[in-house]
Chains A and B, each alone.
Chain A
């Protein structure tokens, strides 16, 4: 019988992804491209919000979009109609994108001629929060019909998001959704989170959201 030996490792399983993410973050900064990682659950209006955002900004900056999905290319085709560059990334059954997949997406999209690249992550509030993609900033969408209890159920997502978009604000009257409660719950998990109530359908709040994007893109553009 061979002798057994214990090898101590003590490393986080996310470590190799975190290393890749840090590399990608630096690479984006060096190339002066702002990379936004957009996350939400399915049906929150991610693609509609994206279309509205692109329409507002496309005349003043060069935008490229990566649509991540388990399968299909419906989202990428919707984005292409806005006239900006878009590619579809298939995760092949995986519930999130990690940093190496994001890097591959960036290479396929080509960012040399871009000011802002947007990654539309897989619709899911759990796994995408655990894997750093290497994005400059993380934004999440929570829509009114999903309920104001979501920070209690998916705390990590609210902790890692730089921005919370509360979508479908135009239908708030017919749902039991308290905007002050959600703000309090989100801020408790993440005091620095920026919160924008929006309606991708009516256009309400889109200006405040795109103003934030404008200043972030400018900051990356002008940084050394």
Chain B
């Protein structure tokens, strides 16, 4: 049910942006999910229609972009996918690395129609 709580936050954020930008209707909401965040894209899609019901987001599409969980190896300076390589650099085998990306959960952009002024 974790995804529902997070979707509620997303709805609030989109509503705010819609108000600020004089939006008439929302066509698509584009979000970014890091591969290493605890958010499951499948559940986001599944709960999206219910969570957005009765809001300006109702009927809109949800587009999800995944951000890879990449780490930078401190030994050989190679960038590698942390999840695929189970937390070890595939080149030199070191487990001394820093995370570059993969924890994100962002509202990237919204595709809208505007109110005619």
Contact = CB atoms under 8 A, between A and B. Distances in A.
A36 B60 CA distance: 41
A156 B38 contact: yes
Given A3-B113, A127-B5, A9 B105 contact: no
Interface string B97-117: 000000111111111111000
B106 A6 contact: no
A11 B2 contact: no
B108 A9 contact: yes
Looking at A2, A10, A16, which has the most chain B CB atoms within 10 Å of its CB? A2
B83 to A, nearest CB: 12
Interface string B26-61: 010001000000100000000000000000000000
B13 interface: yes
Interface string A171-207: 0000000000000000000000000000000000000
B10 interface: yes
B113 A11 contact: no
B76 interface: no
Contacts of B21: 7
A10 B104 contact: no
Contacts of A16: 9, 12-13
A96 B5 contact: yes
A190 to B, nearest CB: 13
B17 interface: yes
A14 B9 CA distance: 8
Contacts of B27: 4
A22 B77 CA distance: 35
Interface in A1-51: 2-17
A4 B107 contact: no
Given A2-B24, A4-B27, A130-B38, A10 B105 contact: no
Given A130-B38, A156-B38, A95 B2 contact: yes
Contact of B17 (A2, A3, A7): A7
B107 A9 contact: yes
Nearest to B37: A130
B27 to A, nearest CB: 6
Closest 7 CB pairs of A and B: A2-B113, A8-B109, A9-B107, A13-B105, A7-B110, A13-B9, A126-B38
Interface of B: 1-2, 5-6, 9-10, 12-13, 17, 21, 23-25, 27, 31, 38, 103-114
Given A7-B111, A127-B2, A130-B38, 6 more contacts: A7-B110, A9-B107, A10-B107, A17-B9, A95-B2, A156-B103
23 contacts: A2-B24, A3-B113, A4-B111, A4-B113, A5-B112, A5-B113, A5-B114, A6-B110, A7-B23, A7-B109, A9-B13, A9-B107, A9-B110, A10-B108, A11-B106, A11-B107, A12-B105, A13-B10, A13-B105, A13-B106, A16-B9, A95-B1, A126-B38
Interface of A: 2-17, 93-96, 126-127, 130, 156
